[in-house]
């Protein structure tokens, strides 16, 4: 037998975190106490009002069968109600709301509905790797849009060549942004919507961090004129309600874009377990104080980390959103070297910025999904030279 990966799988870039994971495991094995700022996975539990709903729902055999379809109407209505309250946008739960098995699943499947072989997908870089990798798996081509500090980590849409725009079918945008923590101003969303309309490109907005913000409350693209005509927006329960393991999210927006995604999903998965849908609906209906508490917690952790890093000579500023801190490393070092140095010499695990794309070179990312006492311990280790 000669089992070979197909051309598309072989085209995926190497998983840059493999080496870090391997080294982390080795050091842990050797008894090193590693302070892990690596992965963005909330460390505090899912709230009781969600867990309780799950426990209650899972006992009902009616929910044990294939969920099928876009989600149970009553739970899609809960999403529409939350969206109305949060963004002031009316959604038709029947045609403008789709449950997902985590927002990653929807983001990953979107290219399979809309990209053909010669098509291009516009992808921010540095960025969440799924946009480009799903594009490649779908047999199409990513075109990277650099995010640079000098432009507020917004892609310069005027720099995308018209020949690329003519072949582009999807543009992914993600604000609050992973990994930079940047926000997008209204002006940018309006420009992006106009560009998408002009070139007939689906604007896929990844709003996974919409509720983790420290300044202005992020907007939905559906709040802007024309947003609904061009846009599909991905939302996640993972960060808002500490539900990364539950695998649940949703997409809203343009009916045709949702219909394409739903058609792909119908052939590959059978929907979200009904008790998980019930729990997700309970999360959205729950007290806003829960997520406000998360924001306070992450803000405090970030402020502690920023103050300590600044004292250590690393420039860092409060991000607009997310629980990530994107930090420029000293000149003359590479991200991989610097992250390697922190890991080997201090037992501090960060993610090298180049793992998110070439424009991430010169940066490391801290995720503050660890307790403040551990953050202080890491800062102490840095001080110790
Ligand atoms: N989008 C971004 C930018 C992310 O960072 C993540 C997870 O880290 C996701 C989407 C996926 O989230 P989930 O699939 O848990 O909803």
pLDDT digits (tens, 9 = 90+) for 132-164: 999 999 999 999 999 999 999 999 999 999 999
Q: Which is the closest atom of ligand 1 to the Cα of 236?
A: 16
- Average pLDDT over the chain, rounded to an integer: 96
Q: In Å, how far are 20, 193, 361 from 339, measured between CA atoms? A: 9, 37, 11
- Rg (alpha carbons) of the chain, rounded to whole number: 21
Sign of CA dihedral 193, 195, 201, 206: negative
pLDDT, one tens digit per residue, over 47-82 is 999 999 999 999 999 999 999 889 999 999 999 999
> Can you list the domains of the chain with their CATH numbers?
7-45+289-383 (3.90.1150.10), 48-285 (3.40.640.10)
pLDDT classification of 19: cutoffs 50, 70, 90: confident
Instruction: Name the nearest CA neighbour of 368 among 239, 217, 175.
Output: 239
Q: Which of 43, 99, 128 to mutate to test the pocket of ligand 1 (most atoms within 8 A of CB)?
A: 128
Give the Å distance between the CA of 44 and the centre of ligand 1.
17
Burial class (CB in 10 A: 0-12, 13-18, 19+), 305: buried
Q: In Å, how far are 43, 87, 230, 362, 365 from 328, measured between CA atoms? A: 25, 34, 35, 6, 9
Give the Å distance between the CA of 329 and the centre of ligand 1.
25
Across 359-375, average pLDDT? 97
Lowest mean pLDDT among 36-40, 193-197, 226-230, 276-280: 36-40
Give the Å distance between the CA of 238 and the centre of ligand 1.
7
Q: Which is the closest atom of ligand 1 to the Cα of 249?
A: 16
On the question of pLDDT at 16 being above 70, the answer is no
What per-residue string of b and e applies to 42-72 under the rule 16 or more CB within 10 Å gives b? Answer: beeebbeebeebbeebbeeeebeeebebbbb
Give the Å distance between the CA of 264 and the centre of ligand 1.
20
DSSP code at position 237? S
Residue 109 has a pLDDT of 98
Q: Which of 102, 104, 177 to mutate to test the pocket of ligand 1 (most atoms within 8 A of CB)?
A: 104
Give the Å distance between the CA of 104 and the centre of ligand 1.
6
Q: Give the residue, 380 or 13, on which the prediction is more confident.
A: 380
| Residues framing ligand 1 (Cβ under 6 A) | 40, 102-104, 128, 174, 178, 206, 208, 236, 238, 244, 249
What gap in Å lies between CA 264 and CA 200, rounded to an integer?
21
248 CB-near residues (< 8 Å, 6+ apart): 99, 100, 101, 102, 237, 272, 276, 277, 279, 280
What gap in Å lies between CA 246 and CA 272, rounded to an integer?
10
pLDDT, one tens digit per residue, over 272-318 is 999 999 999 999 999 999 999 999 999 999 999 999 999 999 999 99
Q: Is the pTM of this model over 0.95?
A: yes
Across 99-116, average pLDDT? 98
Give the Å distance between the CA of 40 and the centre of ligand 1.
9
């Amino acid at each position: 037998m000669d089992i070979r990966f197909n051309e598309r799988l072989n085209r995926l870039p190497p998983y840059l975190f493999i080496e870090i994971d391997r080294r982390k495991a080795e050091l842990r094995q050797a008894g090193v106490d590693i302070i892990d700022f690596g992965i963005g996975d909330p460390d505090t539990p899912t709230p009781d009002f969600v867990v309780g709903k799950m426990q209650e729902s899972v006992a009902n055999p009616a929910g044990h069968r294939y969920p099928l379809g876009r989600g149970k109407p009553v739970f899609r209505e809960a999403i529409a109600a939350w969206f109305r309250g949060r963004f002031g946008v009316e959604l038709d739960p029947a045609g403008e709301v789709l449950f997902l098995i985590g927002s990653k699943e929807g983001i990953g499947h979107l290219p399979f509905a809309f990209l053909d072989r010669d098509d291009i997908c516009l992808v921010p870089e540095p960025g969440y790797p799924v946009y480009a990798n799903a594009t490649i798996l779908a047999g199409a081509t990513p075109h990277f849009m650099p995010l640079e500090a000098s432009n507020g980590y917004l892609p310069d849409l005027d720099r995308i060549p018209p020949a690329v725009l003519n072949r582009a079918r999807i543009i992914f945008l993600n604000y609050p942004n992973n990994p930079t923590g940047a926000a997008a101003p209204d002006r940018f969303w309006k420009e992006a919507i106009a560009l998408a309309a002009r070139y007939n490109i689906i604007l896929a907005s990844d709003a996974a961090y919409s509720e983790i913000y420290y300044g202005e409350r992020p907007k939905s693209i559906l709040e802007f004129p024309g947003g609904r005509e061009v846009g599909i927006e991905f939302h996640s329960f993972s960060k808002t309600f500490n539900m990364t393991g539950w695998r649940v999210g949703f997409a809203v927006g343009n009916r045709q874009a949702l219909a394409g995604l739903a058609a792909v999903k119908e052939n590959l998965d059978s929907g979200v377990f009904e008790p998980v849908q019930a729990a997700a609906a309970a999360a959205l209906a729950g007290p806003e104080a829960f997520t406000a508490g998360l924001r306070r917690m992450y803000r405090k952790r970030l402020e502690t980390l920023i103050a300590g890093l600044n004292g250590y000579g690393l420039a860092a500023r409060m991000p607009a959103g997310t629980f990530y801190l994107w930090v420029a490393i000293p000149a003359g070092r590479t991200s991989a070297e610097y992250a390697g140095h922190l890991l080997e010499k201090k037992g501090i695990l960060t993610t090298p910025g180049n793992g998110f794309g070439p424009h991430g070179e010169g940066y490391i990312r801290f995720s503050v999904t660890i307790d403040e006492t551990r953050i202080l311990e890491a800062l102490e280790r840095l001080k110790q030279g």
